[in-house]
Amino acid sequence: MRRVVSVVCAALATVTLAGSPALAQVASSDVAVGLESTRVTLATLDPNANSMYKGDTGIGYVTVVIRSHNYGPENTTDTSVVKDITAPPGTVFRQLDEKYFAQWPGLCTVVVPHTRVRCKVNGSMWLDTYNGGSGGHTTEYYFVLKKKCVTPGRFRLDYAGDPKTSNNSVSIPLKVPGVTAADCKPKPKPSPTRAAASPKPAALASPSAALVSAAASPSATEPLAVSAEPSPQAVALASSNEESSGSGLLIGVAGALVGAALLAGWWRYARRKPTETV
């Protein structure tokens, strides 16, 4: 009886240890990803249309094909591989995918609303060589285009039993039809303009200063250079003026002398005239 009890306890302990998530070991698997293709389609999305983009609004949609691999040596442990998906900036997840994330909280964790999520693979990733295969497995992912200028997103696989992690991540660049790199180049911000300083009122010159300035500087209508020698007309005019002044002076002196002589003669005559008697 003691032997039977010991065997049963040992079996229960083995089952408990094997089934404990904390103690269970994941299988060794070299998982990897690669970008197969991307396609951007410009179209005005109708949120009321009964399509795979029902409820979405945007200027187009994006289809991304990812190829995943398991190079072995074993199949991955169930629900141990995590897909970390970052939507290319300028895009968001579809409403259909958002509902799936909310419906399965045990599998998906939203890191950034509408643009980043981490979801467990519901099952195991089998070896690429399963059933004679070698090319891995392709999966399509969809995004809603919100802007014409976009930047690359990212897709990554996380697995604790992966001996090589350098091939677990891939960038997701997009090419929007009709949009060039120059169109999406950041525009330089205009530098702030300083307010123009109001001109200071000019100081009024005093009348004496104005007169001195006018006398010192030639007028705008005068020539810049003046001849130092007088013109013949100016010489003749000056001579004429001098002769006229001399003649007038002589006439004035002669007139004064004549008047004095007449006055003296009259005075002498008056003295010599006899006095009349009655």
pLDDT by residue for the chain (278 residues), tens only, comes to 444 444 434 444 443 434 444 436 899 999 999 999 999 999 999 999 989 999 999 999 999 999 999 999 999 999 999 999 999 999 999 999 999 999 999 999 999 999 999 999 999 999 998 867 778 999 999 999 999 999 999 999 999 999 999 999 999 999 999 999 899 988 888 777 766 666 665 655 554 544 344 444 444 444 444 444 555 554 444 455 545 555 555 666 666 776 777 776 766 666 665 544 44
> Is residue 148 a contact partner of residue 59, using CB atoms and an 8 Å limit?
yes
Residue 92 maps to a domain: yes
Residue 161 maps to a domain: yes
Residue 130 maps to a domain: yes
For residue 80, what are the contacts with CB-CB under 8 A and spacing of at least 6? 26, 120, 121, 159, 160, 161
CATH of the domain at 64: 2.60.40.690
Q: Please report the pLDDT score of residue 25 as a whole number.
A: 87
Residue 138 maps to a domain: yes
Residue 255 maps to a domain: no
B/e letters for 139-168, b = 16+ CB within 10 Å, e = fewer, are: eebbbbbbebebeebebebbbebbeeeeeb
Looking at the 3D structure of the chain, how many domains does it have?
1
Query: Around Cβ 96, how many Cβ atoms within 10 Å?
Result: 14
Residue 93 maps to a domain: yes
Residue 248 maps to a domain: no
Residue 65 maps to a domain: yes
Q: Please report the pLDDT score of residue 206 as a whole number.
A: 53
Residue span of the structural domain in which 52 resides:
26-172
